[in-house]
Amino acid sequence: MTDTDPQTEAVYRQMLMARSQEERFLMGLEMCEAARATVLASLPADLLPVERKIAILRRYYASDFGDEELMKIETALRGQ
């Protein structure tokens, strides 16, 4: 879904593509870091480190893995 008109989208794409590959790469990294910071800020502060990892796993990958696969990963993270 997009609410941006095609002309504006074309101008925006042109502006992005005018940047160097390095600039575009760094922009992508900054977006990933911002998303991670948002996820971390949404988690309870008192989580144990392993539980924090599991919460992050579930936020990022819940739709990529089935419950069984997630449980296997959680078990491995817990060292069981």
Q: Which band of pLDDT confidence, cut at 50, 70 and 90, is reported for residue 71?
A: very high
Read out DSSP for 43-66? S-TT--HHHHHHHHHHHHHTTTS-
Burial 28-56 (b: 16+ CB within 10 A, else e): eeeeeeeeeeeeeeeeeeeeeeeeeebbe
Domain co-membership, 33 together with 49: no
Domain co-membership, 27 together with 55: no
The helix/strand/coil state of 1 is coil
Domain that holds residue 29: 1-38
Domain co-membership, 49 together with 26: no
Domain co-membership, 49 together with 78: yes
Domain co-membership, 9 together with 23: yes
Q: Which band of pLDDT confidence, cut at 50, 70 and 90, is reported for residue 53?
A: very high
The reported pLDDT for the residue numbered 16 is 96
